[in-house]
Chain A
Amino acid sequence: MLKLGVPSKGRLQDDTIAWFAQHGITLERTGSDREYAGLVSGVDGVQLVLLSAGEIPKELAAGRIHLGVTGLDLIREKLLPWQEKVAVLAQMGFGFADLIIAVPKGWVDVECLEDLDAVAAQFRKVHGFRLRIATKYHNLVRGFLQSKGVADYQLIDSQGATEGTVKNLTAEAIADITSSGSTLEANHLKILNDGLILKSEATLFASRFADWNDDARASLAQMQALVKWDDITL
């Protein structure tokens, strides 16, 4: 059996089902809407596993699923080094999201990372603590800011409603994913012009640690014939 992990709800699930349908593979939920099980037709020997999108990277890394659909952002944040744990099979053309750094619009003196760095130094001097950046992407943001030479900041964990942290005075800036920018706009935030950390989209990943037995490989070959991706070694 080849186990395919798919987001268990929402827009991401709908788009995933539509994407596979376009390639001649039907994913169907069985039983009630609330039951996390499904059927796959069009490719033999595939078992559908419905998971929270945030769990999929971990399940791929553990090899408990062979394939999984999730965002590149989550893979890059949660799996290090990600290329050694998963392989990209196909970029799916939806779920586009940019991981960006945003600051209050009122900071008319801040447009780029060099400004942010200077303001971080100023902020620490005035307030006695480091400028707080709210995010759930700790590894990606820290790595990015370190490589750009930004200092005197601290990351504050925010697992949701991150845009609201500035208004609530729990952070001075945020690093989060955005697709249209309308939430940022509504929260009076603006993106730094060189603050793009990562461009992400929904991606079909293969686990490098799953049990790639003959049956699983046969199913994968069938799927490859339909979806068409470049050969990879697993």
Chain B
Amino acid sequence: MLNDNRAAIREQAATLETAFRNAGALHVESDALLPADTLLDLYGEDIRARAYVTQDPVLGERMLRPDFTVPIVERHMSEGAEPARYCYNGSVWRKQDAGSQKASEFIQVGFELFDRTDPAVADAEVFALFREILPDDLTVGTGDIGILRAAIAGLTTSDKRRAALLRHSWRPTRFRQLLDRFGGKTTPIASRVELIKAAKADGIDTLIKSSGKFLGLRSKAEVHTRIESLINDVDEPNLPSGELAVIEAILNLDCTATQAVEKLRELQSDLPAIAGAIAVFETRLAALSKHGVDVNTLAFEGSYGLTSMEYYDGFVFGFQRGEQVIASGGRYDALTSVLGNGRDIAAVGGVIRPDLLLGVA
């Protein structure tokens, strides 16, 4: 009988699962066929391009599990008590781009930690565990999306502008576009200038009325509110160039973790709001040191994980062999807050690809 690599991958996965269980994790299983609406609400339309969607005449739209995070978090919320450590070992399915050599079905072995007592300490525990389990020859990368988020939250500008920047912090091109716009570096959108001129001259309601028959679920009141906020936004001063420079400097950080702390301390005078995030960063580094991680050589990038790990909002890490990401993880408190309808659940975790680890994928 022919045996392909799958048996070897299963064995590798079992070894990783055992390591996670030895670290105190409860092994959990999840359905492979998940309700699509939760995933769509969480990840947006883009998930349809990545996950396999199927239609059930009774149950409605279903998705083949694209990752374990959602089912694990949901299960934890319904029956888990903190602190909790979970591990899982099973297949996930992802559509790949045309021409891609990447597998569309593969095994993920993961570990998730729910513990709100000290997030920085929890971050360190997860990272140290992955570092211990994985071979030494992999390239390690780390970042902290919490620092960028703190910087955005501390910008001297309107709530609306801060919210827009936070919302697009995972889309680098769009984020930069917004930064340039708010920094006064691009000319305002012509149609918007016209709109504001007309609204000021004739009044917002007249303007809406002049468009003829009004259709659709989005109400006149919503249009009215948005035009008002556009008018207010015109008077909003440009983002101070010093603060823009801080954002730029954070995104460009590419050094060791300890050097990053020093550089961030320097930036703090221009944007004091990042002090809290730096403190968390330092606590994490101290906790990592206790686990025997040499933070003086640990690589740190300011924009690490900003494009590929959409739902992470704090500490992020990855282990690579060349371009291949063998393992990745991070903190995703914002995601659990959406899933829990605002309930506050601190979560950090990561996954390993046993196939890529074996180098047989």
Interface residues of A (CB under 8 A from B): 80-81, 84, 104-109, 111-112, 114-115, 117-119, 121-123, 126-127, 129-131, 138-139, 142-143, 145-146, 149, 151-155, 166-167, 169, 172, 187-188, 193
Question: Is A109 in contact with B215, judged by CB distance below 8 angstroms?
Answer: no
Note all chain A residues with C-beta closer than 8 A to B220: 106
Look across to chain A and name the residue whose beta carbon is closest to the beta carbon of B194: A111
Q: For residues 182 through 201 of chain B, which have their beta carbon under 8 Å from a beta carbon of chain A?
A: 189, 191-192, 195
19 A-B pairs, CB-CB below 8 angstroms? A84-B98, A104-B214, A105-B211, A106-B214, A106-B223, A108-B211, A118-B164, A123-B222, A126-B222, A130-B41, A142-B49, A146-B49, A149-B171, A149-B174, A151-B167, A154-B40, A154-B44, A154-B45, A188-B212
In contact, B218 and A108 (Cβ under 8 angstroms):
no
Interchain CB contact under 8 A, A169 and B48: no
In the complex, the chain A residue whose C-beta lies closest to that of B172 is: A149
B49, B98, B174, B216, most chain A CB atoms within 10 A? B216
Q: Is B140 in contact with chain A by the CB < 8 A criterion?
A: no
Q: Which residue of B lies closest to A133 (CB)?
A: B45
Interface contact B226-A119, CB-CB below 8 Å: yes
**Residue ranges of B at the interface with A (Cβ–Cβ < 8 Å):** 40-41, 44-46, 48-49, 98-99, 163-164, 167-168, 171, 173-174, 177, 189, 191-192, 195, 207-208, 210-218, 220, 222-223, 225-227, 230
Contact B211 A106 (CB under 8 A): yes
Bound-complex Cα distance A154 to B53 (A): 14
Closest chain A residue to B225, Cβ basis: A122
Given the known inter-chain contacts A119-B226, A151-B167, A154-B40, please indicate yes or no for A112 contacting B217, CB distance below 8 A.
Answer: no
Across chains A and B, which 3 residue pairs bring their CB atoms closest together, nearest first? A149-B174, A111-B191, A106-B214
Kindly state the separation between the CA atoms of A169 and B215 in the bound complex, as whole angstroms: 8
Give the Cβ gap from A5 to chain B, nearest Cβ, in Å: 23
Q: Which residues of B contact A122 (CB under 8 A)?
A: 222, 225-226
Q: Judging by beta carbons under 8 Å apart, are A151 and B223 in contact? A: no
Select one of A84, A127, A149 contacting B168, CB under 8 A: A149
Q: Which residues of A have CB within 8 Å of B174?
A: 117, 149
A107, A142, A146: residue with the most chain B Cβ atoms closer than 10 Å: A107
Contact check, B226 vs A166: say whether CB atoms are below 8 A apart.
no
Query: Which of A126, A138, A139, A145 has the most B CB atoms < 10 Å from its CB?
Result: A126
Choose from A84, A155, A188 the contact partner of B213 (Cβ within 8 Å): A188
Asked if residues A109 and B227 are in contact (CB atoms below 8 Å), the reply is: yes
Asked whether A152 lies within 8 Å of B191 as measured between CB atoms, the reply is no
| B189 close to A114 (CB less than 8 A) | yes
Q: Given A121-B167, A123-B218, A127-B217, A108–B45 Cβ distance below 8 Å?
A: no
